[in-house]
Amino acid sequence: VQLQASGGGLVQPGGSLKLSCVVSDLNLDNYAIGWLRQAPGKEREGVACISARDGSTYYDDAVKGRFTISRDKTKNTVYLQMSGLKPEDTAVYSCATPSLSACRRIEVRGSWKLLFDYWGQGTLVTVSS
């Protein structure tokens, strides 16, 4: 399985950016797909996920309302449209899968966290003026 993310770069606060991930050897009809990120000095965190069967989408509270995940099964590609970017969104973003058809979440101190167990090389997003 290969998950190749691209589209990162430098963007000003409040700006927008769209990431892409080309998926190889993973059938998006059978596996959920999403994005995670890792900021400098911090742990990885799930950002967004789209389920395989019905396309239900899930977002971390930190990005809800600002980020949108989508997929094009004909191109085996998943996207992350990011808007209203903040400096705290600065991180390496990687395409990831929970290796299940449904997105996997766990409740942590009252909020839901997305879990993934396989991810590819990431693309750096820097939000700075």
**pLDDT value for 82:** 98
Confidence bin at 80 (pLDDT 50/70/90): very high
pLDDT tens readout for residues 18-27: 999 999 999 9
Tokens of 1: 């399985």
**pLDDT value for 87:** 97
Q: 54 Cβ partners below 8 Å, 6+ apart?
A: none
pLDDT tens readout for residues 44-66: 999 999 999 999 999 999 999 99
Confidence bin at 67 (pLDDT 50/70/90): very high
C-alpha count within 13 angstroms, C-beta hemisphere, residue 104: 14
Confidence bin at 35 (pLDDT 50/70/90): very high
Q: How far apart are CA 76 and CA 92, in angstroms?
A: 21
CB 108: neighbour CB atoms within 10 A? 8
Q: How far apart are CA 26 and CA 33, in angstroms?
A: 10
Burial class (CB in 10 A: 0-12, 13-18, 19+), 117: exposed
**pLDDT value for 92:** 98
pLDDT tens readout for residues 82-120: 999 999 999 999 999 999 999 999 999 999 999 999 999
CB 115 within 8 A of CB 105: yes
